[in-house]
Amino acid sequence: MQADIICVGNELLTGLIENSNAGFLSRRLWSAGIPVREVRVVADDERAIGEALGKALQESDLAILTGGLGPTDDDLTREAVAAILGLELVLNQQWFEKMDQFFSMRGIKMPDNNRKQALVIKGSTILENKRGTAPGAMLNTDGKFIILLPGPPHELQIMFDEQVLPYLVKKNQGKLTTVKTLKCIGLGESMLEERIKAIGKWDLPPISYVARGFEVDLQIKGSGDLESASVLIDEAEKRLRNVLGDHIFGSGDDTLADIVAKLLTEKKLTLSLAESCSGGLLSDTITDIPGSSKFYRGGMVAYSLKAKIEALGLDKELLDREGEVSDAVARAMAEGANSLFKTDLGVGITGIAGPDSDLSGSPVGLVYVAVATSKLCESRKLNFGGGRRAIKERAAQIALDMVRKILINI
Amino acid sequence: MQADIICVGNELLTGLIENSNAGFLSRRLWSAGIPVREVRVVADDERAIGEALGKALQESDLAILTGGLGPTDDDLTREAVAAILGLELVLNQQWFEKMDQFFSMRGIKMPDNNRKQALVIKGSTILENKRGTAPGAMLNTDGKFIILLPGPPHELQIMFDEQVLPYLVKKNQGKLTTVKTLKCIGLGESMLEERIKAIGKWDLPPISYVARGFEVDLQIKGSGDLESASVLIDEAEKRLRNVLGDHIFGSGDDTLADIVAKLLTEKKLTLSLAESCSGGLLSDTITDIPGSSKFYRGGMVAYSLKAKIEALGLDKELLDREGEVSDAVARAMAEGANSLFKTDLGVGITGIAGPDSDLSGSPVGLVYVAVATSKLCESRKLNFGGGRRAIKERAAQIALDMVRKILINI
C-alpha cells in the first residue's frame, strides 16, 4: 500500500497556517509501513482539488485529503471529491442533530451555514469528530481508499489515530516498517555519532539522527519480516544503551516530561516550580500531561524582584548581594518552591531571556537552574543562544533532565 | 506572477523532518504579492522531481525547488532540473575552491563527494550560501524563473531573503497583492460570516476566513495597482469594523497578547495571574513578549487545593462551599493574584482540562475565568471541547480577551 496526501487550504498556500498535518500523517503512515508517495498542498478550489485527487488515485492505493470541511462557502473538499467520483451529497440527519446538540450545549443557536457540514458523500462511512462539527469520511471505490479529514490538527489527529490508523494497519497487515526511536539528551548530534562510531564495525540496522533543541532522536530502522527485524533492532538498542547510558531517556513518543511524570508517580513524590526567565513554560509543559495533578502541586512565576521577595519569600539581602540571576538565587528559588508548595522536589530557574540584558549586565542567555530535595540541592549554570523562545525552551529541557537524573538515583 | 513550490526529500515524506520551508516561502512570496498556486513534496527521485517541475512550469511563472542539493548520491535536484531543461552540468571552479576553503577552515579535508556540489546547471546564476556548502541557483528560461535552494532552513532562509526576494520583488514591480488581515475574537467563523453577509451586496475586495482556536483572521485581498487597491481595502475595513466592533482586536501579525501588552504599557498598569487548569500557559504566552517584565509581575499556578489555600491564600471555607471549579473561586483567584503580586489587574482561571472529571463531577471543559481590578471583578463561565491542550489554549485566549476589553474601558 502507498499513499498520497492532499492538504487543502488557501491559508496553507499563504503560509498563514503552518501545515503540521502533512508531517503528522507522514510519520504515522510511515511507521504503519505505508510509504507516502507525494504530498500536495492545493487551494480551496474545486478544480485543483479534483485534479490532485485524480492524479493521486492513478498513482497510489490511498488518498488522504485534509481540510476544506468547514461550514463556509470556501470549504469545497466534500463537493470536489463527490464531483470527481460522480457521487452525490446527501444530508445525514444524525449528524445534523448531533451538531444541533453541540451548539445548544454551548448555549448558541446553530448558524444556518453549519448545515453544510451534515452533507456527506453517498456511500461513505462517517468518521466521528470528538472535537468539532466537521465529520470525516472514508470511501472505498474501485479498490482505492479515499479518506477526508478536518483541517484543525487537534480534530484530525485523534480522528486519524482512533478511527483511521487501526483500519489501515489491518488492511496492510504484515507489511510494517519496523522502527525503534531512542530519545537522547545531554549529548549533541556529532558527539553522539562519535560515541556510536567508536563501537566499531556496525553490521546492524542503520541509525539516523534527528536533533530537536537539546534532544536527539536516534532512529533504528529494521527491514524484512517483523520477527528478524526485531531481533536485530533489539541488539542495536543494547549496544547503543551500552555506550550512551542514561543519555537515553526514553523511546518512541516519550517526552522528557512524560518520563519525569512517570518517575514521580512511581516514586510517589511531588513537584513544584519557581520560574523566572522560563516564564511558566515548564509549568505549562508539565500540566500538558494528563494526570499531572497527581504529583504537581503548583508553580510560582516570580517575574519581578518584588514577586521573588514578597510572593516567593526569598531573602532581600541575598537578592541584593548575589543578583536576581545567580546560582544562589536559583537554589533559593528551588528551596522556596518546596517550602511554599510543601513538595519533595522543587525547581528554580532564573536567567536572562532577552532581548535586553538586565541592569547588572548579565549576558542574554545566561541561565541558572537548580533542583532541591530535602537532602540535596543541585544547580547548573548555562549559556544559551537562539533567542527568547529558544532560551525558555532550553531552560525547561535542562530542568526536566536534572529532575529526571535526581529521580533515577532517589 | 504566480509560483509553484517543490520540496524534495524522502525525510519530508516520512515525517522525520517537519517541512518548514514551504510555510516560510509561502509567507514571503505572499507578502511580496506572488501567490503560491501549489506546494508539492516529492521523493529524492529524478523522475518525480522532473515531473513536478514540468507541471509547475506549465502552470506558473516561477518554480522554486528546495532540497536535494547535498553531496550524497540521493541528492538529485540539480540533475533532474538539468535533464528536464536539456541543459548540462558543469564544474564551477570558484565554488570548488570555496568549498575547499570552507573545509580547511574547519580543519577537515574535503570529502570527495562534496565535489558534486560544485556542479552547476549551465547558464544558471549561483546563489551564495553563507551557512553551508550547497550553492543555490537561479535560471531564467522561456520567460519562466526556476530557483533552486538548499534544504536546511537556516541556509535557505537567509539565501532567499538576501538574494532571491529582492530580485523577485523587482521583477514583479507594480503588481503587488495588497492584503489586510483583521484579527477577530469572540465570534465563530460562521457567525462572523453571517454578520458580514448581513451587510448586503459586497462589491469590495473578497474576504477569506481562517480560524485559530477562538480567533478568526479576516483577510481582505485587494488587487490591481497599489493605490486603488488600498482605497477599496480601507473601505472594506471600515464596513467590517462597523458591524464587528471590538470583536476586531488587531490587524496584521498582532496577537491578543501583543495587544494586551500594548494596552498595559500605554496605561502603565500591572498584571498578575492565578492559573489552575491552564497550568501556566497564559504566563508562558505573556512572557513570550519581549519587554513583558515591564508590566507582568508574576503568576501562581495553583494546581492543587492545598496550593490554592496555602500558597495563594484563598479561604478554605469558600473552596469547600463552592468547589474548586466555580465562579466564586475564579473571582477569589483573580483578587488573590492582585493582593499577592500587588498588581492593578489580576486574572483567575479554574476549570477541568481533563481527561477525567474532578471529584465533584464537573464536566471536562468547564472553565471559569475572572479578571479583577480594584474597582470591578468580571467573570465568565465557559464550556470548551477539544481535549486537554485545546481547553488550556481557549481558557488563555478568553482570559486575554477579557483583560483587553477591561483595559479598553479603563
Mean pLDDT by 10 residues, chain A (410 residues): 95 89 93 90 96 96 96 92 95 91 84 89 94 92 94 95 91 71 86 85 83 81 76 94 96 94 98 98 97 96 96 96 97 98 98 82 92 97 86 95 96
Percent of chain A at pLDDT > 70 equals 97
CA distances, A2 to each of A42, A46, A61, A169, B238 (Å): 20, 24, 6, 12, 50
Per-residue pLDDT, B121: 95
DSSP secondary structure letter of residue A115: G
CA–CA distance, A170 with A294 (Å, rounded to integer) = 36
Share of chain B above pLDDT 70, in %: 98
Q: What is the pLDDT of residue A110?
A: 87
Helices B46-59, B77-85: crossing angle, 10 deg rounding? 50
pLDDT computed for residue B327 by the predictor: 98
Helix (H, G, I), strand (E, B) or coil at A60: coil
User: What pLDDT is attached to residue A250?
Assistant: 96
pLDDT at res. A172: 77
Q: Would you state the pLDDT for residue B380?
A: 97
**In the predicted model, what is the mean pLDDT of chain B?**
92
Does the domain spanning A256-409 belong to CATH 3.90.950.20?
yes
- Looking at residue A40, the DSSP 8-state letter turns out to be E
Is B284 in CB contact (< 8 Å) with chain A?
yes
Our CA-based measurement puts residue B86 at a distance from the nearest CA of chain A, in whole angstroms, of 25
CA distance B51 to A40: 14
Beta carbons of B211 and A152 less than 8 Å apart: yes
Give me the mean pLDDT over the B363-388 stretch: 94
Domain boundaries along the sequence of chain A: 3-171, 178-251, 256-409
* Residue B317 in grid coordinates: 471555607
Q: Residue for cell digits 526485531?
A: A230
**By three-state DSSP, how is residue B290 classified?**
coil
Q: What is the pLDDT of residue A163?
A: 96
B313 and chain A: CB distance < 8 Å anywhere? no
Tell whether ipTM is more than 0.85.
Answer: no
Q: How far is CA A265 from CA A261, A296, B205, B384, in A?
A: 6, 10, 57, 28
B303 touches chain A (CB under 8 A): yes
B347 neighbors B337 (Cβ within 8 angstroms): yes
CB pairs under 8 A between A and B: 267
Cβ-defined contact of A342 to B288 (cutoff 8 Å): no
Cβ–Cβ below 8 Å for A16 and B27: yes
Across the interface, do A43 and B38 touch by the CB < 8 Å criterion?
yes
Q: Are strands A136-141 and A125-127 parallel, antiparallel or unpaired?
A: antiparallel
Q: What is the pLDDT of residues B123-177, one digit of tens each?
A: 999 999 987 888 999 999 888 999 999 998 888 999 999 999 989 988 877 566 6
Residues from chain A that touch B275, judged by Cβ atoms under 8 A, are: 280
A contacts of B183 (beta carbons < 8 Å)? none
* Nearest CB neighbour to B279, from listed A158, A284, A297: A284
Does the CB of B293 have a partner CB in chain A at under 8 Å? yes
Residues 6+ apart with CB under 8 A from A301: A275, A276, A279, A280, A283, A307, B273, B280, B283, B287, B298, B299, B300, B301
> How far from B221 is each of A76, B29, B194, B202, B321, CA to CA, in Å?
20, 15, 19, 13, 54
Q: Which amino acid is at A388?
A: R
pLDDT tens column, B68-85: 998 877 889 999 999 999
**A387/B contact by beta carbon, under 8 A:** no
According to the model, what pLDDT value does residue A365 have?
Answer: 92
pLDDT of residue A63: 98
Q: Is A156 on the interface with B (CB under 8 A)?
A: no
Q: How far is A125 from chain B (nearest CA, A)?
A: 22
Residue with cell 451586496: B201
Looking at beta carbons, which residues of chain A come within 8 Å of B24?
Answer: 15
Segment B324-349 shows an average pLDDT of 98
Residue B226's identity, in one-letter code, is: L
The architecture CATH gives domain B3-171:
3-Layer(aba) Sandwich (3.40)
Q: What is the pLDDT of residue A175?
A: 61
Q: Is B367 on the interface with A (CB under 8 A)?
A: no
DSSP A24: H
- Contact with chain A for residue B166, Cβ under 8 A: no
pLDDT band at B229 (very low <50, low <70, confident <90, very high): confident
Query: Quick one: pLDDT at residue A208?
Result: 79
Residues 6+ apart with CB under 8 A from B369: B330, B347, B348, B349, B379, B380, B382, B395, B398, B399, B402
Q: Does B153 touch chain A (CB under 8 A)?
A: no
3-class SS of residue A49: helix
**Closest C-alpha to B25, from A59, A119, A217, A41:** A41
Query: In Å, how far is A265's CA from the nearest CA of chain B?
Result: 16
Instruction: Copy the grid coordinates of residue B206.
Output: 473578497
Contacts of B191 in chain A (CB under 8 A): 111
Task: Give the per-residue pLDDT at A215.
Answer: 86
The predicted structure's pLDDT at residue A354: 83
Task: Using DSSP, state whether B39 is helix, strand or coil.
Answer: strand
| List of chain A residues whose C-beta atoms are within 8 Å of the C-beta of residue B301 | 273, 280, 283, 287, 298-301
- The domain at B178-251 falls in which architecture? 2-Layer Sandwich (3.30)
CA distance A233 to A244: 16
Reported residue count of chain A is 410
pLDDT of res. B355: 84
Q: Count other Cβ atoms within 10 Å, centred on residue B114.
A: 18
End-to-end Cα separation, chain A, in angstroms: 48
pLDDT at B301: 98
Q: Which of A19, A74, A307 faces B297 most closely, judged by CB atoms? A: A307
- Chain B residue with CA closest to A152: the answer is B212
Amino acid, res. B255: T
In angstroms, the CA B65 to CA B7 distance is 6
Q: Is B297 on the interface with A (CB under 8 A)?
A: yes
Residues B169-228: tens digit of each pLDDT:
888 775 666 778 999 999 988 889 899 999 988 888 888 888 777 899 998 988 767 677
